[in-house]
């Protein structure tokens, strides 16, 4: 999907205090940024930030970081969050940089919501955020027992992800093929989730916890 550029985007990125200017400055010492040692929850591909903003507001004792590689998307997330939360920051960076941004055992939970399924070509499987190589990186960065919460509308991606988690020996729970009729409480919808569910599409969800 083509991202429409915003004239105010670059100024927002420069002046908004919620946007971190140096993604690598806090590796191993994120507590210094937040001024506490609360758990860190990371959303990979936070988009316009609705999910992580609302989640941060409901959980003031958790530190949140939204990672998004599209500059003209994350500027919207930062603008919407400004003045409403003090436990959330945004990083304009790529998932491939995670090991340069975070030290080992720094993250307690990772959210992956409606990522690109990369299903058109078989060779693209390695680009999926739930591909085994990515799962291995997440495990390095997470506390023992850390969690990944994953949501998608794509059946093939969900089935692929289930297999990848199992192959890498993650413990699965809360698996549902129809989230909105599952009885699971406390679900916060993303922008995409609202759009997809409004036209009757099923939402798939799982929770995975890392083993030693």
**Per-residue pLDDT of the chain in tens (212 residues, 90 and over written 9):** 445 678 888 899 999 999 999 989 999 999 999 999 999 999 999 999 999 999 999 999 999 999 999 999 999 999 999 999 999 999 999 999 999 999 999 999 999 999 999 998 889 999 999 999 999 999 999 999 999 999 999 999 999 999 999 999 999 999 999 999 999 999 999 999 999 999 999 999 999 998 87
Per-residue pLDDT at 211? 81
- Please give the tally of structural domains in the chain: 1
Report yes or no on 18 lying in a domain.
Answer: no
- pTM, entire model: 0.95
Residue-wise pLDDT for 87-138, tens only, equals 999 999 999 999 999 999 999 999 999 999 999 888 999 999 999 999 999 9
Task: Report residue 154: phi and psi, to 5°.
Answer: -100, 115
Report yes or no on 6 lying in a domain.
Answer: no
Report yes or no on 63 lying in a domain.
Answer: yes
Q: Quick check: 165 and 173 in contact, CB under 8 A? A: no
Report yes or no on 143 lying in a domain.
Answer: yes
Per-residue pLDDT at 61? 98
Instruction: Quote the CA–CA distance of 199 and 108 in Å, as a whole number.
Output: 34
Per-residue pLDDT at 1? 43
Report yes or no on 202 lying in a domain.
Answer: yes
Report yes or no on 10 lying in a domain.
Answer: no
- SS3 for 15? helix
Counting every residue written for the chain, the total comes to 212
Per-residue pLDDT at 2? 46
What residues form DSSP beta bridges with 115?
none
Instruction: Quote the CA–CA distance of 78 and 48 in Å, as a whole number.
Output: 8
Candidate list 97, 116, 136, 169, residue with the active-site label: 116
Report yes or no on 15 lying in a domain.
Answer: no
Q: Can you read off the two tokens belonging to residue 64?
A: 């949140």
Q: Quick check: 141 and 106 in contact, CB under 8 A? A: yes
Instruction: Quote the CA–CA distance of 197 and 29 in Å, as a whole number.
Output: 39
What DSSP letter does each residue of 105-144 carry, written as one string? T-EEEEEEES-----SSGGGGGGSTTSHHHHHHHHHHEEE
The reply to whether 100 belongs to the active site is: no
Report yes or no on 2 lying in a domain.
Answer: no
Enclosing domain of residue 64: 28-209
Q: C-alpha dihedral over 184, 128, 162, 52, to 10 degrees? A: -20
Per-residue pLDDT at 4? 62
Q: Assign residue 75 the CATH number of its domain.
A: 3.40.50.150
């Amino acid at each position: 999907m083509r991202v429409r550029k915003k004239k105010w985007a670059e100024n927002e990125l420069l002046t908004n205090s919620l946007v971190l200017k140096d993604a690598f400055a806090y590796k191993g010492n994120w507590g210094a940024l937040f001024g506490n040692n609360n758990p860190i929850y990371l959303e990979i591909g936070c988009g316009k930030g609705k999910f992580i903003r609302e989640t941060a507001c409901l959980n003031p004792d958790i530190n949140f970081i939204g990672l998004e590689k599209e500059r003209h998307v994350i500027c919207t997330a930062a603008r919407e969050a400004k003045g409403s939360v003090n436990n959330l920051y945004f990083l304009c960076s790529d998932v491939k940089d995670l090991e340069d941004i975070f030290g080992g055992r720094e993250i307690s939970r990772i959210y992956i919501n409606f990522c690109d399924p990369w299903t058109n070509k078989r060779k693209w499987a390695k680009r999926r955020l739930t591909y085994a190589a990515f799962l291995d990186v997440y495990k390095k960065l997470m506390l023992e027992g850390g969690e990944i919460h994953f949501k998608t509308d794509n059946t093939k991606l969900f089935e692929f992800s289930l297999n990848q988690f199992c192959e890498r020996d993650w413990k699965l729970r809360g698996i549902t093929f129809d989230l909105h009729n599952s009885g699971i409480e406390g679900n916060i919808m993303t922008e995409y989730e609202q759009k997809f569910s409004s036209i009757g599409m099923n939402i798939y969800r799982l929770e995975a916890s890392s083993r030693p």
